[in-house]
Structure formats: C-alpha cells, structure tokens
C-alpha cells in the first residue's frame, strides 16, 4: 500500500533514539512463565496494511509469541519470551523490527486500565436502558392501539417491572450528578432529567395502580436511553484522544547507565537516580536529570528545552538541564537533583499555575444548562399550579407538569453538542489531528490570534544548507567527507544538501566543542566553528546573523564557509496564508535569538516576531494577549513551550513534540504539514456553527411542543414521538459536517492551487 | 388474549438474550479497537494465527 511508505531519511534519523535491551526490558511487564508484555506506541499506523505489516514483522521474530496492533490507540502490544534455547533474548529487536518495517515505535508505560471502566459502565447502561426501552415500547404500542382494560393494566404492570431496575441502574449517572449539584446549592442539566424520570415513573405507577389509561414508562426509559448515548459519546471522545496522547512517545529518557563506585555500570530507572549519583550519557542520548559534568566534553542540543536552535558546547563543571540531547561526545554526569525536582518538574509547576485560566472556561453545554434548567422547572411548576388552581383537578395538574418535564427533556440538547463534537473529532482524526476533549474544539472555534513557536513548529528543527562561500568545488567534497563521520545536525545537513561526491578520509576524529579533524598526508583539515578551524583569533562572520556557520580549514587557513538555516515545516507558507485569509493574526514567540526569529518571520510573512523569550515570558505574552481580549491559539512543541501551551486559550502541538508539550496541548497533529492548523480551525468553526444550529433546532422543537404539553394535549404517544424526532433531527444535522467538509475541501484545494500559481507567476 | 401469556415472556426472553450477548461482547473487549476491526476483516487470516 502506497499510503504506508515513510521516507527512508526519517527512519534513519531514528536510529539515534533507539533503546537498549535494558531499557526495553524495564518498560515491559512480566506476565509470568518467562513471558513479558511490551507495549509500544506506533503513531504512524493508520490502515489495514500497516496492521498486517507490523504484525507479520513481529511474528517473524523467533521469541515473539503474540503481536496485536490496536489501530484506535495506535499501539502494539507484543508478548515475548525472556529466554529461548539459545539464551536470553534481546527485546530491543522488537523495536528494530518495527523500524525496519518503516514505522516509528516508542516505548510507553501503559497507564492503569481504569480509563475504560467508566466507558464500559456507560455502554452497559446504554444496553440495559435500550433493552428496557425497546420492550416497554413494544407493550406501549399494544396499549395505544387499543387494548382492553385488563390487558392494558397487565401491560402497564409489566412495563413498570421492567422500567424500575433499568431506571435505577442506567439512571444512576444522572441521579448522582444531580444530587451532587443540589447538595452544593447549584442546578445542572441532570436535575431536570432526574426529576422528569423519577416523577414520570412515580405518576405512571400511581396511574397503573388506579387503572388509569395513560402511563409514561416508555417515555422515561427512552429519555434515559437517548441521554446516555450523548453522555457516552462525550466520554469516549474525551478519553480516547487523551489516552492516545498520553501514551505517545516519551522523549524524556526512562533510565540511565549508573556508574557504581567500583567502576561497573548498570541500567537503572530514572526514578532511582539519586542526587550525587554518577551517570554516563553516550552521544545521541538525552540528559535524564539536572546535573554537573564530571568528565567529558560535548555539544548539547537544547532546542527542546530553550528553543535555541544551535548546539551549545559544554565541558567539565558545566551545568546541564534535563531534556537536552547530547550530540557529539560521551559525558559523565553527577546528578544534582533527582528526577522529581529537575527542570522538567519546574516546568510542570509553571504549567499547572497557567492552566487556571483555562479551567475557568465553561463548556457550551454547561452554559446552556444554566439557562435551560430554571426555565424548564419554572414552566413545569407554573403549569402545575395553573391547572391545579384553575381546573381544580390536582391529579390532572400533576400529569400535565410531568408531560412538560418530559417534552422539554433536554435529550435533543444533550445530543446537540457531543454528536457534533464526535463527528468533528473523527473528521480531524482522519486528517491526522487528535482532539483531547470537546471543549478544545469550542475554544478553537473562538481563536482569533495564532502564536507560533519557531524551532520544531514553524521549522522542522533540522538544518538546511543555504549558502556556501568556497574557493573551489573541491572544498565542498572535503567538507562532505569529514561531515559524513558525524552525527551533529549541521554535519548531517551538509552531507544531505550537497551533491558533490564526498572525499574519503581514513580517520576522522570528532573533537567535542569544536568539530571534526582529519589528516591527509601532512595536511590537517578541520571542519567546525570558526574558532576551532582557524584558531581563536578569528571571529565568526555570523555572530549575530540569522544563519549558523560552519568553517572548513586546511592547516588553519579557511577554505570554505557553510551557512545553515532551519528547514521550514512543509505547508508553513500555505498555512500562514490561509490563517491570514481566515482573518486570524499571527505572531512568533520563540526562545531562539531575535535575528533568527526575524529571519523566519520574514520568510513566512509574519509581521510580529518575539525572540529570546523564557518559558515564563511566553506565558506572560499569552496572558497579555488574553488581557487585550484576544483568544490565543498557541502552537508549540518544546518543553519550554509547555507552560504557554497551557496558558493560551487553546493550543496545538505536533506529534514530534516533547511528551510534556503534547500533554499540555489540546490538539496534536501527526502529519508533518503545518496545514493542520488552519484545517483544525476550519473544522472547529464549522462544528461551532452546527452546534448553534442544533441548539436552534432543539429550542425550536420546544417552542412547538411545550404549548401542546401545557395545554394538556400531550398523550404519551405524542410525547414519545416528538422526543425521538427531535433527537434524530439533531443527529442528522450533526452528520452534515462530513458533507460540508467534503465540499469545503474541494474549495480549499482550488484556493491553494490558485495561490501557488500566483506565487510562481 | 391467552396467547399473551406465552408471547410476552418470549419477547422478554429474546430481548434478554440480546442484552446478554451485548454484555458478553463488551466484556470480551470487542469494542477496544473499532477502527482496527474494520480493517482486519479485509486482511488475510495468516496474521491472526498465533504461534505455539
């Protein structure tokens, strides 16, 4: 299947993040009898072809017993044997096998399975109430079609017996919540629901005992049935995306190689690292905890921590913070803080403080409930009193009041929001965007300003060669030959972006904090920063320019200079154009140097760029914009963006973001293209307008039905029919989102085609 | 009308069987991966075979 191919490049780049056997074993759970279960996250699976490719690749390993892909959660769970005849097995081969099949795989620790407990209880309740509703409806239809008195009574009694346990079992979600609200002196949507259900049951029972003609058992049970569907959709939508986001790759390492006092090394979990422990960090690994370097020199990539895109040199006694990627040399680090107190946790604290603003946001359904429930109660009470006082028949008054409560039942309202949101979330999921909960869509529809982080969001965080100042062509070949030996991002970019055949060297040494060195006869070639290549006296030409610079020298004389820029994320230009067209303002908030940020802003046509911001300043910027009455959508990926992601009105992160960034974001997009941002806003806005339509439909229905109920004309048949009709209309309207988006897609595609044409012209 | 004495219990019993079937399917985890299930029906059976 062509849809499943991945670029070879990105697979190769992953080799730096591969895990050791020890780490994999640590992440898998023992099942007993020498079996262990390993759960992996594979964010790229998206079709049946992917499922069978991965399962086949895993079952081909001799020690793997079962492998099963869960497409919904994008996970693989794999049971393997710890030992086979030939000795202990190497579970990291499982990851290698998945990588070889062309997919990224990440370890994750499965959270407690209780997530699904509520969903299962809700589904059970739907099953029970559905069963009860169907059977009672069957009996009711016989009654309506004119059963004689004895049969009618018998049917009513059977209905009452079916309804009672179903109401207690399936209604408990509403009763609990209503009781909770009442106890705290509030009302919510569940209060009129509970009241309608219990009152209608009580009145129907009373009617049945007194051989009355009408009973409302069917209405009260089917009311619960519809409401439970809405509630379950709401729950599933929140839980599913949250579980998947939480389970995604954890970039923060889960352990480290501890160096014992006697010099031996063993792998321990990150929680077991104590302050004062010495740990070894190889090139290509992430720093697990804050610490001081004891020995070794290297360059650290801090992009995920500070947003700074060029690597920073470190040596003995330098302080390093957790989350940084060790690029060139191996280091021995003395931990100064345990994992719980590291920089990561500080950021989490900052995030929690920032999230207060968002917690005040009230979901549309809740806002509707505060208006709706007093009106419903008042209507029921007024019609009860009016019928009682004017008509003098208090029994009839009670029946009318119950009819009002049932007919105004918020089941269309209860479905109005979740159905639209589930359809919209499904639509976005197909486009590679995951929504954490429904209120995120509501907030996204309100956004009017988009703040982008630079490194990793607008740019891919990988460098691109933009300019070469060289004496002759051969210099590039020499530089390529040297760079091929390094894992440094600039070296990799140099090899990737030049077409010259690289010159080969026998021995290339990588000198931490400097660059690469090779000897060819008596000549010494050096590739790296200006100071390293040409001696300390030379000042780099781009000390504060927008580009990173690499110098190639021969015996201390510079031969060539290479300038690098960050690669823009694909679709970034189109995304900004579309956001402009949709009337949103854009700005950049970045921790990187101002000159670099300005350069990116200029390339994309964003007029407002703020550089060198600390995580705290990013939060303050978001709060300032909020204070101006703007609704900010923050798009970012790094650990340093996490607090701002939490502080903004709504936030998005790419799937390549740090774990903590993804946790903080409301939406996560899987594809590399930045188009996901305007796409998500478009879907959110459409769903917001559908929700408004649904509210209008539900209210319109009430405006028609309530007078009938107040007039005392609502027979059980009319009540049941009108209730179901309103629900079905609301659901059908929600499904229009798919049709709408298909039309819009065509429209947008035409639009992009045009803008591309004008650009080339 | 005597028919009802048989028909009503039969109707309830049939509904009850449906309910039990639903409870069973829920317990055995058939709703865990709805998207995957939609694709698996198209796949060849080989991948489902477990090694012994």
User: What would the DSSP string read from start to end of A652-669?
Assistant: EEETTS-HHHHHH-SEEE
Instruction: Give the span between the Cα atoms of B39 and B41, in whole angstroms.
Output: 5
How many Cα atoms sit within 13 Å of A298 on the Cβ side? 31
Beta bridge partners of A561: A469, A551
pLDDT at residue A83 in the model: 80
**Backbone torsion region of residue B29, taken as left when φ is above 0, otherwise alpha when ψ lies between -120 and 50, otherwise beta:** left
pLDDT at residue A244 in the model: 58
pLDDT tens string A7-19: 333 333 333 345 5
Task: Work out the pLDDT band at B30, boundaries 50, 70, 90.
Answer: confident
Please say if A453 is a catalytic residue: yes
Q: Do the Cβ atoms of A163 and A138 come closer than 8 Å?
A: no
- Contact residues, A window 158-177, toward B, CB-based 8 Å cutoff: 158, 162
Instruction: Give the span between the Cα atoms of A723 and A414, in whole angstroms.
Output: 12
- Backbone phi, psi, residue A81, to 5°: -90, 140
Q: Is 50 exceeded by the pLDDT of residue A228?
A: yes
Which ipTM was obtained for this model?
Answer: 0.78
Beta bridge partners of A668: A434, A653
Instruction: Give the span between the Cα atoms of A559 and A555, in whole angstroms.
Output: 10
Torsion angle of the four alpha carbons A90, A91, A96, A99, in this order, in degrees rounded to the nearest 10: 180
Which residue is closest to A121 within chain B, CA to CA? B26
pLDDT tens string A67-104: 888 887 778 888 888 887 777 788 888 888 888 888 87
pLDDT tens string A621-636: 888 888 888 889 999 8
Q: Do the Cβ atoms of A456 and A303 come closer than 8 Å?
A: yes
A138 close contact with B: CB closer than 8 A = yes
State the average pLDDT over residues A555-564: 81
pLDDT tens string A29-55: 788 788 888 888 787 787 788 888 888
The string of DSSP codes covering A3-29 is GG---HHHHHHHGGG---HHHHHHHSE
Q: Is 80 exceeded by the pLDDT of residue A443?
A: yes
Instruction: Give the span between the Cα atoms of A609 and A596, in whole angstroms.
Output: 10
Which residue is closest to A134 within chain B, CA to CA? B15
- Backbone phi, psi, residue A166, to 5°: -65, -40
Query: What are the residues whose beta carbons fall under 8 Å from the beta carbon of A36, sequence distance 6 or more?
Result: A25, A28, A29, A30, A79, A80, A81, A82, A91
- Backbone phi, psi, residue A545, to 5°: -80, 175
Chain A residues within an 8 Å CB radius of B13: none
**A51·B47 Cβ contact <8 A:** yes
Q: Is 70 exceeded by the pLDDT of residue A549?
A: yes
Long-range contacts formed by A705-713: CB under 8 A, 24+ apart: A705/A407, A705/A408, A706/A379, A706/A404, A706/A407, A706/A408, A708/A407, A709/A383, A709/A400, A709/A403, A709/A404, A709/A406, A709/A407, A709/A408, A710/A379, A710/A383, A710/A400, A710/A404, A712/A387, A712/A396, A712/A399, A712/A400, A712/A403
Q: Do the Cβ atoms of A41 and A78 come closer than 8 Å?
A: no
Query: What are the residues whose beta carbons fall under 8 Å from the beta carbon of A377, sequence distance 6 or more?
Result: A187, A191, A192, A195
Beta bridge partners of A87: A84
Chain A residues within an 8 Å CB radius of B8: 139, 158
- Backbone phi, psi, residue A652, to 5°: -135, 150
Chain A residues within an 8 Å CB radius of B23: 124, 127
A59 close contact with B: CB closer than 8 A = yes
Most B CBs within 10 A among A71, A116, A169, hence the mutation to make, goes to A71
pLDDT at residue A716 in the model: 64
Closest CA to A569 of A425, A448, A640, A669: A669
Q: Do the Cβ atoms of A653 and A636 come closer than 8 Å?
A: yes
**Backbone torsion region of residue A577, taken as left when φ is above 0, otherwise alpha when ψ lies between -120 and 50, otherwise beta:** alpha
Q: For A124-138, A166-180, A454-468, which range has the lowest pLDDT when averaged over its residues?
A: A454-468
Tell if the pTM clears 0.80, that is, is over it.
no
Q: Is 50 exceeded by the pLDDT of residue A735?
A: yes
**B33·A73 Cβ contact <8 A:** yes
Out of A437, A453, A565, A659, which one is annotated catalytic?
Answer: A453
Q: For A743-747, B28-32, B47-51, which range has the lowest pLDDT when averaged over its residues?
A: B47-51
**B33·A70 Cβ contact <8 A:** yes
State the average pLDDT over residues A676-697: 89
**A52·B47 Cβ contact <8 A:** yes
Query: What are the residues whose beta carbons fall under 8 Å from the beta carbon of B42, sequence distance 6 or more?
Result: A48
State the average pLDDT over residues B14-36: 83
Burial A256-276 (b: 16+ CB within 10 A, else e): bbbbeeeeeeeebbbeebeee
Task: Work out the pLDDT band at A145, boundaries 50, 70, 90.
Answer: confident
Instruction: Give the span between the Cα atoms of A382 and A400, in whole angstroms.
Output: 10
pLDDT at residue A78 in the model: 87
Cβ-based neighbour number of residue A175 at 10 Å = 16
pLDDT at residue A744 in the model: 57
Q: Is 70 exceeded by the pLDDT of residue A160?
A: yes
How many Cα atoms sit within 13 Å of A709 on the Cβ side? 32
Distance from CA of A680 to the nearest CA of B (A): 21
Instruction: Give the span between the Cα atoms of A666 and A673, in whole angstroms.
Output: 18
| Residue A326 Cα distances to A279, A329, A699, angstroms | 13, 7, 60
Q: Is 60 exceeded by the pLDDT of residue A748?
A: no
State the average pLDDT over residues A443-451: 90
pLDDT at residue A251 in the model: 47
pLDDT at residue A29 in the model: 78
The string of DSSP codes covering A89-104 is --THHHHHHHHHTT--
State the average pLDDT over residues A138-149: 82
Most B CBs within 10 A among A52, A61, A146, A163, hence the mutation to make, goes to A52
| Mean per-residue pLDDT of chain A | 78
In this complex, the residue of B8, B23, B33 whose CB is nearest that of residue A72 is B33
């Amino acid at each position: 299947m062509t849809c499943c191919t991945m670029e070879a490049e990105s697979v190769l780049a992953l080799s730096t993040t591969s895990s050791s056997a020890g780490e994999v074993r640590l992440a898998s759970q023992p099942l007993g009898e020498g079996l262990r279960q390993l759960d992996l996250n594979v964010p790229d699976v998206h079709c049946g072809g992917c499922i069978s490719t991965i399962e086949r690749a895993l079952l081909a390993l001799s020690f793997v017993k079962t492998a099963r892909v869960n497409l919904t959660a994008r996970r693989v769970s794999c049971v393997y044997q710890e030992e086979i005849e030939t000795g202990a097995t190497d579970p990291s081969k499982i990851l290698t096998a998945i990588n070889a099949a062309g997919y990224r795989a990440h370890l994750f620790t499965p959270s407690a399975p209780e997530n699904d407990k509520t969903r299962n209880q809700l589904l059970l309740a739907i099953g029970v109430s559905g069963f009860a509703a169907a059977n009672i409806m069957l009996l009711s239809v016989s009654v309506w079609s004119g059963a004689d008195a004895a049969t009618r009574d018998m049917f009513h009694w059977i209905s009452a017996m079916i309804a009672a346990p179903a109401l207690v079992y399936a209604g408990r979600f509403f009763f609990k919540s209503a009781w909770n609200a009442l106890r705290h002196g509030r009302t919510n949507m569940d209060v009129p629901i509970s009241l309608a259900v219990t009152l209608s049951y009580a009145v129907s029972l009373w009617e049945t005992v007194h051989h009355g003609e009408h009973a409302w058992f069917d209405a009260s049970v089917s009311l619960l049935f519809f409401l439970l569907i809405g509630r379950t959709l709401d729950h599933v939508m929140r839980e599913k995306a949250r579980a998947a986001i939480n389970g995604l790759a954890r970039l923060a390492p889960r352990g480290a190689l501890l160096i014992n006092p006697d010099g031996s090394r063993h792998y321990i979990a990150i929680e077991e690292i104590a302050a004062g422990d010495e740990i070894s960090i190889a090139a290509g690994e992430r720093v697990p905890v804050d610490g001081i370097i004891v020995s070794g020199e290297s360059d650290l990539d801090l992009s995920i921590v500070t947003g700074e895109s060029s690597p920073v040199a470190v040596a003995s006694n330098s302080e390093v913070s957790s989350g940084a990627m060790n690029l060139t040399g191996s280091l021995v680090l003395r931990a100064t803080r345990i994992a719980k107190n590291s920089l990561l946790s500080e950021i989490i604290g900052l995030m929690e403080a920032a999230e207060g603003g968002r917690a005040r946001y009230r979901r549309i359904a809740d806002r509707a409930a505060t208006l709706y429930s007093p009106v419903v109660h008042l209507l029921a009470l007024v019609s009860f009193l009016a019928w009682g006082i004017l008509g003098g028949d208090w029994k009839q008054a009670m029946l009318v009041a119950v009819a009002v409560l049932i007919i105004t039942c918020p089941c269309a309202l209860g479905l109005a929001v979740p159905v639209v949101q589930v359809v919209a979330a499904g639509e976005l999921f197909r486009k590679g965007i995951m929504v954490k909960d429904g209120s995120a869509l509501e907030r996204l529809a309100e956004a009017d300003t988009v703040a982008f982080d630079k490194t990793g969001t607008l740019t891919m965080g990988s460098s691109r060669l933009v300019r070469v100042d060289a004496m002759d062509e051969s210099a590039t070949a020499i530089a390529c030959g040297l760079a091929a030996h390094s894992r440094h991002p600039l070296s990799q970019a140099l090899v990737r972006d030049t077409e010259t055949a690289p010159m080969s060297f026998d021995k290339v040494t990588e000198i931490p904090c400097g660059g690469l060195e090779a000897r060819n006869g008596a000549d010494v070639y050096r590739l790296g920063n200006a100071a390293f290549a040409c001696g300390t006296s030379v000042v780099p030409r781009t000390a504060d320019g927008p580009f990173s610079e690499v110098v190639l020298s021969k015996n201390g004389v510079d031969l060539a200079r290479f300038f690098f820029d960050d690669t823009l994320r694909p679709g970034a230009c189109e995304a900004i154009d579309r956001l402009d067209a949709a009337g949103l303002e854009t700005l950049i908030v970045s921790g990187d140097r101002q000159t670099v940020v300005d350069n990116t802003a200029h390339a994309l046509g964003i007029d407002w760029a703020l550089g060198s911001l600390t995580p705290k300043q990013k939060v303050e910027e978001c709060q300032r914009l909020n204070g101006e009455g703007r609704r900010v959508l923050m798009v970012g990926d790094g650990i340093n963006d996490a607090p701002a992601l939490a502080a903004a009105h709504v936030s998005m992160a790419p799937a390549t973001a740090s774990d903590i960034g993804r946790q903080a974001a409301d939406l996560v997009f899987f594809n590399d293209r930045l188009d996901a941002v305007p796409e998500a806003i478009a879907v959110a806005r459409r769903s917001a307008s559908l929700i408004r339509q649904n509210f209008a439909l539900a209210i319109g229905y009430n405006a028609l039905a309530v007078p009938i109920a107040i007039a005392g004309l609502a027979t059980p048949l009319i009540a049941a029919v009108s209730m179901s009709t309103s629900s079905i209309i609301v659901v059908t309207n929600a499904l229009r989102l798919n049709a709408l988006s298909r039309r819009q897609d065509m429209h947008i595609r035409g639009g992009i085609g045009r803008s591309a044409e004008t650009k080339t012209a | 009308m005597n028919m009802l004495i048989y028909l009503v219990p039969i109707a309830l019993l049939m509904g009850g069987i449906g309910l039990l079937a639903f409870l069973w399917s829920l317990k055995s985890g058939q709703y865990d991966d709805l998207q995957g299930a939609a694709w698996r029906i198209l796949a060849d059976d080989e991948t489902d075979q477990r090694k012994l």
